[in-house]
Chain A
Amino acid sequence: MTTAPPPVREPAWSLPRSAIGLWVTESVISSVVLGLAVGAFLLFVPADAGGLVPVLRRLLPIAVAGYAVVAIAVRPWLKHRVYRWEITADAAYTRTGWLTQTWTLVPISRIQTVDVTRGVLQQVFGLASVAVLTASSQGTVRIWHLEHVVAQRVADDLAHRAQQVRDQAT
């Protein structure tokens, strides 16, 4: 193991396990869509067309199959290990990503808006995301896929605390 310790502290909480189910479902959907697109390509583009077509006919199915395996069988679990979140006394803090990891920290005093969103799939899995927005386009903390009640409570709590300590210096 040559990997160094993480550069910063890991946020305390991991996501509920149902997030894995959601990610798997998302990957299945995108794999099916890609598979259909490649199927259509194989079906409708004549095999004897010139250029890159013969190469693509061989490469595309392999690429899609590879994507499907990684996206369905590997990535959701890796993401579940990486995605973490925490609300500390004065900041909201997350880690996201899987190969490239990103830690985002926003002080509660600089929060401008807190959003809770529930996509269709998230509703199926009883999940919701919390987005914490600041004056900077880069300074957005997104806590993906929390249980809906937890997300709502986190958002309410953050909004309430932000109101109390808001700092207009930005």
Chain B
Amino acid sequence: MSPEPTGRRTSPRIVLVHTVTFRQARQFVPAVIPLLAATGVGDGGTTVIALVIGVTLLSLATAALSWWRFTYADGPTAVVVTRGLLSRSVRTVPLDRIRGVEVETPVLHRLFGLVRVRIDAAAGGVTGKDEEIVVDGVPLAEGDRLRTAVLTRRATPAPTGGGSAEAEPAEEEFARFDPHWLLYAPLVGSYLAVPLAAVGALFRLVDELPRRFRPEFDGPDVFDGRVIGLGILVVLLLLTVGSVVGAALVNWRFRLVRRGGSLIAVRGLITRRHTELEIDRIRGCTLSEGLGMRLVGAARVSALVTGLGDAARRGQLLPLGPRTKAWELVHRLVEDPGPLAPHPPAARRRRLVRAVTPGLLLTLAGAVATLTDGSWWVLVVGVSLTALGVPLGLGRYASLGHATGARSFSVRSGWLVREQAVVERRAVVGWRVRQSFFQRRAGLATVMACVGAGAGGYSAVDLAADEVATFAAAASGPWADTLAPSAGDPLPAGPKAAKLSEGAASVRCTREEGSVAMSEVHENQPEGTPTWMDLGVPDLDRAMEFYGSIFGWEFDVGPEEYGRYTTCLLKGRRVAAMSPQFDPSAGVFWNVYLATDDCDRTVEKAREAGGTVLVEPMDVMEQGRMAIVRDPVGAQFGLWQGRAHTGAEVVNEPGALVRNDLVTPTPGPAREFYAQVFGFTLDGNEDMPEADFTFLRRPDGHEVGGIMGAPGSVSGWQTTFEVADTDDVVRRAREAGGTTEGAKDFLYGRLATITDPFGAQFSVITRPAG
């Protein structure tokens, strides 16, 4: 039954409408008026008449031409519009990009029984511009058919007897305009602008008329108090009446109903507008109250609809109404996140300072002016502006607020127009935190939730700086924990400490009781990341005693048949392992395992790059697959392709692995080898220009370790564990039989290198707080 997508034409009657309104010919008007003004209209009326006829004919011709060249077709998958006076343009908009359809009936269209259909489509890709297709001048029935066809994504045959004959889904009324609400109009800025715009247009018109056509009257004596009073009265009356009339014209018989999955808003007296929004695409609402509206408890409501352009007009759900009604409507569409929390006192100070500063500057200038040439009026203006700034600043502060709920969040700001946005958490596609120099000093920040709907972003202005991360996480998803100063790092990280914190990257941060940030890893680390450590020692019991006392580890001793491979646990989570198996010729050392997605392939690459394979790839039960490799400079490391065992379950916190570095006298070949095998990029450490230190970075940019060139050293991977207090650990290590030169302050924290009772060397570090 679907109509073949052949081109349909609009009604020829539209040519008349466009001729009368000079729709196409309008663009010539600016050219004609100066022409007229230059040549003069002449003495006789003939010129005028000739001109009128000429323009009308021109208008008719252009209107007919554009009607003739315009066709549209609504196929099963796309709407295609073909047009263009000289060059032909064909525009195809897939149905799934269409966000809404609006049918409007301007007054002239109504005379001819026509409507105008606007089809809104989301921008393709990210070109940014939304598209709009306007099919101007189809009969009412065809307009309805087009709307239904496009919105239901299936073409229904055009009903012959008018659109209302078909069975509609049940309707639910969300809001209906009460004519009493028109009384709010004089207090709403945008409606006040209607009469002003009309007056402005009138003056411009008078201005453009040739001089001799202007009405002449004597200038009134403007210094007469009565004239001024009368003038003000007239203007006020005009504004009041004009705004009420304006509001009535636009909002006449406004109705908002839900029909199936759509919200339909119908309104307007002269131009009847019919806007349809998909409820599934609504991500939130804004409720705005201007200064005047707040006096009488009025508000307006708009919906945030994804992919809808010109949202200010089309997203409007309640153009004007009582506050209570407005909130009712908002809560029908978005879950209430609860009452707003006020912003800190520093925010009030900032609002006050910002409101008062211009006045103060003017006062200062005024004081100077008074002293120099006695012109006191600047001073008066300055003082009164300063005084007015106080209530303004307080008012602006009182507007600020934010709240987070289970499924939504809310932010409010603004004084002249106070706007509160209530947005679903799932709508947030990003966070933008801004902090100016002054905000930094005041401990404040402005946080914007980026939303793919409405204005694109909604801000919590002047939030307390330490609440920012909590708010962002509570108002979106766990991914926003990235903002938390403690993510992957139990201590607030400065730039340098942050670098170090990535030693074992890709950690997922979870919060435990007592709000201590833990750095837990639940999946395999990306290729090349240090993921596991083990230590072969001659005396397992002694090793357990030593490491247990310095790191607080517990041990899960493996059975004899697995060589007593013992897992070291920190609060029940795997951090490393030890075993009584070791090769006396290689000495005792912590062996680091780098993660790999394919153990066999990485071993092949290591061989090609000049490495020696000490242990060929082998399965470790169902845990994973491992190999041991020695690099060209003689340092040994393992490879781990995790399956059941994903490596260390906790990193970057006291008692766990934080960093691995290769120390070698010949860094050159080592850099080449690791870059070739793991695809690491290398970059120098700018913090330590005097050292030959190279960061190893995974292809995604994460730093996973480093290569330290140290003349006279023996090549080997060095392991650093994080500790809460380096000095305390040094003391305990000495007590337990280890040796160390003691703790020293290093660029990235307090560091100590410790040798365990068996000769294995490792480092511990406490990263700085603050």
Q: Which residues of A contact B (CB under 8 A)?
A: 2-14, 16-17, 81, 84-91, 93, 97, 99-110, 112-113, 133-141, 149-150, 153-154, 157, 169-170
B456 x A138 contact (CB < 8 A): yes
CB of A135 within 8 A of CB of B452, answer yes
Evaluate whether A6 and B485 lie within 8 angstroms (CB atoms) in the complex, with A13-B701, A104-B431, A136-B456 already known: yes
A154 contacts which chain B residues (CB < 8 A)? 700-701
**In the complex, A102 Cα to B440 Cα: how many Å?**
12
Q: Are B480 and A105 in contact (CB under 8 A)?
A: yes
Partner of B441, one of A3, A10, A90, A150: A3
A5-B485, A12-B501, A17-B686 known; A105+B495 contact, CB < 8 A: no
From A11, A104, A108, A133, give the contact of B432 (CB < 8 A).
A104
13 contacting pairs across A/B (C-beta < 8 A):
A2-B441, A8-B484, A10-B493, A13-B499, A13-B703, A85-B701, A88-B487, A90-B482, A105-B433, A134-B452, A136-B451, A150-B697, A154-B700
Residue of A6, A7, A91, A138 with highest tally of chain B CB at under 10 A:
A7
Q: Which residues of B contact A103 (CB under 8 A)?
A: 431-434, 483
With a CB–CB cut-off of 8 A, which chain B residues contact A6? 435, 465, 485
Contact B435 A101 (CB under 8 A): yes
Complex: A8 Cα to B493 Cα, angstroms: 10
- The 5 A-B pairs of least Cβ separation, nearest first, read A135-B452, A139-B450, A139-B430, A138-B457, A7-B465
Query: Quick one: closest B residue to A146, CB to CB?
Result: B701
B210 interfacial by beta-carbon distance below 8 Å: no
B740 within 8 A of A: no
B479 interface residue (CB < 8 Å to A): yes
Contact of B465 among A4, A84, A108 (CB under 8 A): A4
Question: Which residue of B441, B480, B495 contacts A14 across the interface (Cβ within 8 Å)?
Answer: B495
Cβ-closest chain B residue relative to A84: B495
Residues of A within 8 A of B121 (CB): none
- What are the residues of chain B within 8 A of A102 when measuring CB–CB? 432-435
Proximity string of chain B (132-150) to chain A, C-beta cutoff 8 Å, 1 when within and 0 when not? 0000000000000000000
What 11 new A-B contacts, CB under 8 Å, besides A8-B468, A13-B703, A169-B426? A4-B465, A7-B468, A8-B472, A105-B483, A107-B429, A113-B125, A134-B430, A139-B450, A139-B451, A153-B701, A157-B701
B677 within 8 A of A: no
Which residues of A sit under 8 angstroms from B502, Cβ to Cβ? 12
Q: Shortest CB–CB separation between residue A168 and chain B, in angstroms? A: 10
CA distance A52 to B521 in the complex (A): 66
Q: Is the interface of B mostly helix, strand, loop or mixed?
A: mixed
What residue in chain A is nearest B500 (Cβ atoms)?
Answer: A12
B413 to chain A, nearest CB (A): 15
**Is B456 touching A137 in the complex (CB atoms < 8 A)?**
yes
Q: B453, B469, B495 — which one has the most chain A CB atoms within 10 A of its CB?
A: B495
Shortest A148–chain B CB gap in Å is: 12
Quote the shortest CB–CB distance from A146 to chain B (angstroms): 8
B662 within 8 Å of A (CB atoms): no
Closest residue of chain B to A141 (Cβ to Cβ) is: B430
Query: Is there an interface contact between A150 and B681, defined as CB atoms closer than 8 Å?
Result: yes
One digit per residue, 1 when the CB lies within 8 angstroms of any chain A CB and 0 when it does not, for chain B 492-525 equals 1111001101100011100000000000000000
- Could you tell me if A91 and B429 are in contact, using CB atoms closer than 8 angstroms? no
Q: Do B501 and A3 touch across chains, with their CB atoms under 8 A apart? A: no
Q: Tell which of A7, A10, A89, A91 touches B498, judged by Cβ atoms closer than 8 Å.
A: A10
| Interface size, B (range) | 35 or more
Q: How many angstroms from the CA of A93 to the CA of B433 in the assembled complex? A: 11
Is there contact, CB below 8 Å, between B125 and A10?
A: no
Of listed A4, A97, A102, A109, residue having the most chain B CB within 10 A: A4
8 A Cβ contacts from B278-299 to A? 283
Contact between chains at B128 and A90 (CB < 8 Å): no
Q: Are A7 and B452 in contact (CB under 8 A)?
A: no
Contact between A7 and B307, CB atoms less than 8 A apart: no
Are B430 and A8 in contact (CB-based, < 8 A)? no
Q: Is B466 an interface residue (CB 8 A)?
A: yes
Contacts of A104 in B (CB 8 A): 430-433
Given A5-B485, A134-B452, A137-B456, are A86 and B437 also a contact pair (CB < 8 Å)? no
Closest to A167 in B: B426
Chain A residues within 8 Å of B686, by CB: 14, 17
In contact, A10 and B465 (Cβ under 8 angstroms): no
Q: List chain B residues, Cβ under 8 A from A141.
A: 430
The A-contacting residues of B in range 422-446, CB under 8 angstroms, are 426-427, 429-437, 440-441, 443, 445
Task: Give B681's nearest chain A residue, CB to CB.
Answer: A150
Indicate if the CB atoms of A138 and B440 lie closer than 8 Å: no
- Docked pose: A55 CA to B486 CA in angstroms: 53
B498 touches A11 (CB 8 A): yes
- B45 CB-CB contact with A under 8 Å: no
Cβ of B479 and Cβ of A136 under 8 Å apart? no
Residue from the list B429, B480, B484 in contact with A134, Cβ < 8 A: B429
Interface residues of B in 347-405 (CB under 8 A from A): none
Name the distance in Å between B536's Cβ and chain A's nearest Cβ: 32
Q: How far is the CA of A16 from the CA of B681 in the complex (A)?
A: 13
Contact of A105 among B431, B451, B485 (CB under 8 A): B431
Question: Bound complex: CA of A121 vs CA of B429, how far in Å?
Answer: 32
Chain A residue at smallest Cβ distance from B695: A13
A156 to chain B, nearest CB (A): 8
- Residue ID in chain B nearest A132 by CB atoms: B430
A170, B306: Cβ atoms under 8 Å? yes
Query: Whole-angstrom distance between the alpha carbons of A52 and B701 in the complex?
Result: 54
Residues on the A chain within 8 Å of B498, using CB? 9-12
A140 to B433, CA, bound (A): 13
A139–B482 touching, CB < 8 Å: no
- The reply to whether B701 and A87 form a contact with Cβ atoms under 8 Å apart is yes
Q: Give Cα A9 to B519, complex, Å.
A: 15
Query: Of A99, A105, A136, which is within 8 A of B457 by CB?
Result: A136
Report if B702 contacts A (CB, 8 A). yes
Measured CB to CB, the nearest residue on chain A to B426 is A169
In the complex, which residues of chain A have a beta carbon less than 8 angstroms from the beta carbon of B435? 6-7, 100-102
A170: nearest chain-B partner, CB-CB: B452
The interface residues of chain A lying within 8 Å CB-to-CB of B482 are 9, 88, 90-91, 93, 105
Report the Cα distance A170→B483, complex, angstroms: 21
